[in-house]
Amino acid sequence: MIYERVALIGLGLIASSMAHAMRRGGLAGHIAGHARSAETRAIALELGFVDSVHASAAEAVAGADLVVLAVPVGAMEAVAAQIGPHLRPGATVTDVGSVKQAVIDAVAPHLAPGVQFIPGHPIAGTEHSGPHSGFATLFDNRWWLLTPLPETDLQAVSRLRTLCEAMGANVDEMDAAHHDLVLAVTSHTPHLIAYTMVGVADDLRRVTDSEVIKYSAAGFRDFTRIAASDPVMWRDVFLTNREATLELLGRFTEELFALQRAIRTGDGPLLHEYFTRTRAIRRGIIEAGQDTDAPDFGRINRGQTG
């Protein structure tokens, strides 16, 4: 056992997957949970991935040695304000938010100096949400990024790292600003592009009388999977990782114009060279074990968002 009492604030995809993974490894004594709605709390209790549920976040964190904030990024501040005065001295607080600097700005001011705040982000997810959607293997062989603050106690970081590894993940540490830039490239901007493509196709569908859906090919189907991700979570990601995603979108638009021009002028060599370079990136991802080489992008078993 790594922590005696864990409190999960938010009981959706990530929190329920953590609970299942902690149960699988016997990593936590008691798992207490809080979600906004009574319905979610009841489902969590019924599914049995928490030992107790609490109507208030403050009650859920009482006596916990690890508190996990697993709510949308935009809800972090309100939750931190509620739990701040009720945390046990020496407790560790972590979060799983997809953006890190904004969460640090929102949460840190509400925590007492004796509380260890270690922001985190598991790079694992699916397009599903809610307490039913979690599963124990979600984090297996996925990265879990920690962005500890300079003043954080090293022993507390090492204990949290042990938990993440025992849940199946590989752990890396980096600073929050770097995290936000990396994720803007690998996750946030691709999501926005998928949302846009699906939106455009939806407009077109009205013209082509459902053919877009009927003859949906792998490329478009993959976009729709990504674009089915939780709207609240992704709204908050773009509102809080604004600078990095805007920077990326600027570069993306320039590249798109360059490719558009190559198509217009019939510049085959440019297109071929570009697509050869991108193919090599795909190979690198497979070699790094972050996706499978199965046809249809290996989507049958596991997605990866967040």
Tell me the C-alpha distance between 180 and 147, whole Å. Answer: 10
Determine if 33 is a binding residue for ligand NAP (CB under 6 A).
no
Span of 73-81, 163-171, 210-218, 282-290 interacting with ligand NAP by CB under 6 A:
73-81
Determine if 240 is a binding residue for ligand NAP (CB under 6 A).
no
Total of residues contacting ligand NAP (CB under 6 A):
29
Among 78, 177, 258, 294, binds ligand NAP (CB under 6 A): 78
Determine if 230 is a binding residue for ligand NAP (CB under 6 A).
yes
Among 45, 47, 75, 166, binds ligand NAP (CB under 6 A): 75
Q: Which is nearer to ligand NAP, 40 or 212 (CB)?
A: 40
Which residues contact residue 223 at a Cβ distance below 8 angstroms, ignoring those fewer than 6 apart?
194, 197, 198, 201
- Contact call for residues 26 and 84 (beta carbons, < 8 A): no
Tell me the C-alpha distance between 188 and 295, whole Å. Answer: 24
Among 72, 119, 120, 168, binds ligand NAP (CB under 6 A): 72
Q: In this structure, what DSSP letter does residue 228 have? A: T
Q: Where in the chain does DSSP place strands (E)?
A: 3-9, 28-34, 52-53, 66-69, 92-95, 116-122, 143-146, 170-173
Q: Which is nearer to ligand NAP, 119 or 306 (CB)?
A: 306
Which residues contact residue 280 at a Cβ distance below 8 angstroms, ignoring those fewer than 6 apart?
none
Cα–Cα nearest to 12, from 84, 37, 194, 160: 37
Determine if 226 is a binding residue for ligand NAP (CB under 6 A).
no
CA-to-CA dists, residue 48 to 9, 23, 32, 40, 130, angstroms = 16, 10, 11, 12, 14
Strand partners, 33: 8, 53
Q: Which is nearer to ligand NAP, 212 or 226 (CB)?
A: 226
Interface with ligand NAP in residues 124-153 (CB under 6 A): 125, 129-130
Q: Which is nearer to ligand NAP, 91 or 99 (CB)?
A: 99
Span of 84-92, 94-102, 217-225, 273-281 interacting with ligand NAP by CB under 6 A:
94-102
Determine if 12 is a binding residue for ligand NAP (CB under 6 A).
yes
- Contact call for residues 49 and 73 (beta carbons, < 8 A): no
Determine if 120 is a binding residue for ligand NAP (CB under 6 A).
no
Binding site for ligand NAP (CB under 6 A): 10-15, 35-37, 40, 70-73, 75, 78-79, 96-98, 121-122, 125, 129-130, 230, 233, 305-306
